[in-house]
Amino acid sequence: MKKACELEAFKKHDLPQKIDHTPTGKVTLEEIRYARQDVRCTAALLNAAKREFDLHPIPISPDRAYSPASIAKGYLEAMNIEPPEEKFNVSNKNLGIAMESFMGGRSETRIRLQEVPVVPVDFTSEYPSTCVLLGLWDVLIAKRLSFVDATKQAQKLSRITNLEECFRPELWPKLRFFALIKPHKHILPVRTTYDGSTPNIGNNYLSSSKPVWLAGPDLIASKIQTGTAPEVIRAIHIEPRGNQPENATCKPARNG
């Protein structure tokens, strides 16, 4: 809480600050003063956070905001963006393809439990940036979706795309596809049991006689890391069609 009271975002609220004190476990005047100030700081921080929350014009109460994603969903509701499951008629087959490709809990860690030299290279606002680059906002506000065959395009992209190409924003919307591949010693996100008991997700070499579905960006990432692309058997590209009625006309700002 001490760090929260010192945050730049809360300085305008002139919050009381915690007392630097090491608790002794005894009931003393100093301990009582420390405890009372701690309660005072907690209440002030709660009220300041509530005032900041009220600046968001969204139909959600603070006790229902479980994460930053709750705030984002609140804005979508305030903008009258209809939830995808309510407006898109997507076949179970295509939903299955998307779910097989989904690796929400993936980790980029390559080496665990070992001390190695590191360099911080974290992205700024990675999720919003990726959303904008892939053109997912157009998908979100679309009236309907189509899944068109993109096998030849995916095969071509997997052959020619390199790291430098990925710095061209116009490339990214072309990666909005799912590909059925036959991996052979390609680095891919894999969901499996690594320690013999607990399922997990990791990026590692994968070979499989059975074709698997994965997302377009993961296909390109594998090509960049291994130098060769998996065999693409089939690919489908997500195409947004039209805009839903009364959707927001503004588009999210591109991260600079």
- Give the pLDDT confidence score for residue 46 in this predicted structure: 87
Most confident of 20-29, 36-45, 212-221: 212-221
- Give the pLDDT confidence score for residue 1 in this predicted structure: 62
Q: Is 246 left (phi over 0), alpha (psi -120 to 50) or beta?
A: left
CA 141, CA 240: separation in Å to the nearest integer? 8
Most confident of 126-130, 162-166, 189-193: 162-166
Determine contact, residues 100/213, Cβ cutoff 8 Å: yes
Of 218, 213, 207, give the one whose Cα is nearest residue 235. Answer: 213
Q: What is the pLDDT of residues 104-130, one digit of tens each?
A: 766 666 677 789 888 877 667 788 888
Alpha helices, DSSP H, located in the chain:
2-5, 29-53, 68-78, 84-87, 92-101, 126-134, 136-140, 151-160, 216-226
Contacts of 27 (CB under 8 A, 6+ apart): none
Determine contact, residues 58/76, Cβ cutoff 8 Å: no
pTM of the model: 0.75
The two tokens of residue 248 are: 């927001």
- Give the pLDDT confidence score for residue 248 in this predicted structure: 47
Is the model's pLDDT at 247 over the cut of 80?
A: no
